[in-house]
Amino acid sequence: MYKTIIRPLLFLIDPEKIHYFTFSMIRFFSAIGFGGLFSSMYEVKDTRLERELFGLKFPNPVGLAAGFDKDAKLYKELSNFGFGFIEIGTVTPLPQPGNPKKRLFRLKKDTALINRMGFNNGGVEEAVERLKTNKNILIGGNIGKNKVTPNDKAVNDYVTGFEALFDHVDYFVVNVSSPNTPNLRELQDKEPLTALLQTLQDRNSAKPKRKPILLKIAPDLTNEQLLDIIDIVSKTRIDGVIATNTTIARDGLISENKKEAGGLSGKPLTNRATEVIRFLSEKSNRAFPIIGVGGIHSAKDALEKIEAGASLIQLYTGFIYEGPKLIRDINKALLKA
């Protein structure tokens, strides 16, 4: 029903406008009692799906990637679709509007999206207020820097986000890999990235009970840079890696919007994200957990990422193109694997 009726109607409208309209509809239907119906349709409850990582128990390994619910506005309602965890953000210390519109594009022929949103969000304090009412949903907090903050001061923004969210999320994700904030990806270089992660780890260690910290990386890193990532994870002792963010590559695209600037997600990223997961897993001897994300549009795609070395997976573009049935299909396939 989603792919034959609902999606064609949604895809008639500008993608950013329909995103917010869909949020309103999900909130409305949940408020009038449809949350239980969504759960019965899409949630797969089975203890065999549980995963224990970073000292956390995930009810199932399928999560919602950052970027969908940037401001923690809908995490409760979205959890009814069967996600095992929700990652909010990317949030920045101060509110910012993001890049000028139009900034989100469908590539229907490629089953993909290009976005150049630019960390549009209401600021970390706004997200904190919404998260205060969370009771039992496992939440990741994806943190970034404000656009106007120079890279040599970026660590201050990440510390601000870390401190503000600490009591309200279950794990952290350090996002230095978005292509839509000027010069942000320069923070992936070995020296600044090591300094940033070590600063956060020092703050973390000073807490009565630390929270897991993960690093989200770009799919465009070379093998040499990926080896640097392995070394940085080892030195700073962060808890894991999310592989991968969107790509700036445009190989093989056929859609009209293929030349738009921004990060590409969806099916064109499937193989590359899996390659990065496999490389990190093999070269590190599975020394740290990996959350796999990028181009998961079927249960087969999810299983391939898990076989490559991912302990958990996340959806974004696949959720938009395939609908919530994808979550159920993946969890059922995992039970049969």
Residue ranges of the domains in the chain? 2-336
What global pTM score does this model have? 0.97
List, run by run, the mean pLDDT of 10-residue segments along the chain (337 residues): 95 97 96 94 98 97 98 98 98 98 98 98 98 97 98 97 98 96 94 97 98 98 97 98 98 97 98 98 98 98 98 98 98 96
CB contact set of 74 (below 8 Å; sequence gap of 6+): 23, 26, 27
User: Which CATH code fits 2-336?
Assistant: 3.20.20.70
As a whole number of angstroms, the distance between CA 119 and CA 143 comes to 10
DSSP alpha helix (H) spans, the chain:
7-10, 15-29, 35-42, 75-79, 124-131, 154-165, 190-205, 223-236, 270-283, 299-308, 317-322, 325-336
Ramachandran quadrant class, 255 (left: phi over 0; alpha: psi -120 to 50; beta: rest):
beta
* Per-residue confidence (pLDDT) for residue 1, from 0 to 100: 87
**92: DSSP letter:** -
* Per-residue confidence (pLDDT) for residue 209, from 0 to 100: 97
Catalytic residues: 178
Q: What is the pLDDT of residues 278-331, one digit of tens each?
A: 999 999 999 999 999 999 999 999 999 999 999 999 999 999 999 999 999 999
